[in-house]
A = this chain, B = another copy of it.
């Protein structure tokens, strides 16, 4: 066991966010499903970029956002994901190192450019994502460092990573190595349409004991169990016998185990600006707490504090120290 264990290691698509403001009419004209993530090819990426508004570029990617949140809370975080050795790829690695996330995956020397997601934010703060996976699809089992995987108390896998075939192999390997070392594996369902694409695989993974902690928002959970009924979805989750964490936007979160369901309120905010990263940061707080033996309710509270910060500005990475915010909320000393 290394002298400095990692609290949370996340594996995900390494994506730069290209964020622009838009309105509902634009989404309708472009036939975009509001609030969802849609995969796009290079041609569509060019097309969409040409007609969207002025952009703000910040590093993103669901799993990486979570790692940054863990680091911002003062816990030890690592990230595994693939960029190209281009301008945006260098920005991406810089942004991880700058907040102290352990990131050592070699960038691709050729092939497609660093992944980007064109994120359209409507006046209600909702984000609609159009992702060109580019270099992030190149992540494979060879990019995993077993030493790092064994050193992580929790390994967190992004559902979105099921899309690139090589990455999926890497995920399965990562989960196996982590569990064999006695560590826990967490999975986020990522997006209702992502669940649609991989429902059977996700359920198999859960039921074969490969997932210890499952994150889902309520839409993803309903999609997983193919029900429109919230209560039925939560009851089905309870039956899995794992730790289920269900986020419900302004209605807070539920921690669902076989024994009980605990509700935790959302952390108060002043103004909702951009929901991008809300789920990622909730997971950061929850997992950071869990890796440090917090009880489930305080884990969820830590998640709520982290999520509240990130939805009050553009971009999915915290702009202030989450540790300071958690201290103010009396969750960390």
- Residues of A at the B interface (CB closer than 8 Å) are 18, 20-21, 49-50, 52-59, 68, 86-88, 91, 94-95, 98-99, 113, 314-315, 317, 319
8 closest A-B pairs by beta carbon, nearest first, are: A57-B57, A54-B95, A54-B98, A53-B98, A87-B87, A56-B58, A54-B99, A54-B317
Q: When the two chains form their complex, are residues A55 and B91 in contact, meaning their CB atoms are under 8 A apart?
A: yes
* 14 sampled A-B residue pairs with Cβ under 8 A: A20-B98, A21-B319, A53-B99, A54-B59, A54-B94, A54-B99, A54-B317, A55-B58, A55-B91, A55-B98, A56-B57, A56-B58, A56-B315, A57-B91
A54 to B49, CA, bound (A): 24
The closest CB in chain B to the CB of A90 belongs to: B49
How many copies of the shown chain assemble into the complex? 2
Return A276 CB to nearest CB of chain B, in Å. Answer: 13
Consensus secondary structure, chain A interface: mixed
Q: When the two chains form their complex, are residues B58 and A57 in contact, meaning their CB atoms are under 8 A apart?
A: yes
**Out of B52, B86, B95, which one reaches A55, CB within 8 Å?**
B95
A177 to B182, CA, bound (A): 75
Chain B residues near A99 (CB-CB < 8 A)? 53-54
Q: When the two chains form their complex, are residues A50 and B315 in contact, meaning their CB atoms are under 8 A apart?
A: no
Chain B residues near A50 (CB-CB < 8 A)? 94
The closest CB in chain B to the CB of A18 belongs to: B91
Knowing A57-B58, A88-B87, A91-B57, the reply to whether A98 touches B319 (Cβ < 8 A) is: no
The closest CB in chain B to the CB of A68 belongs to: B54
The closest CB in chain B to the CB of A51 belongs to: B98
Chain B residues near A18 (CB-CB < 8 A)? 91
A56 to B319, CA, bound (A): 10
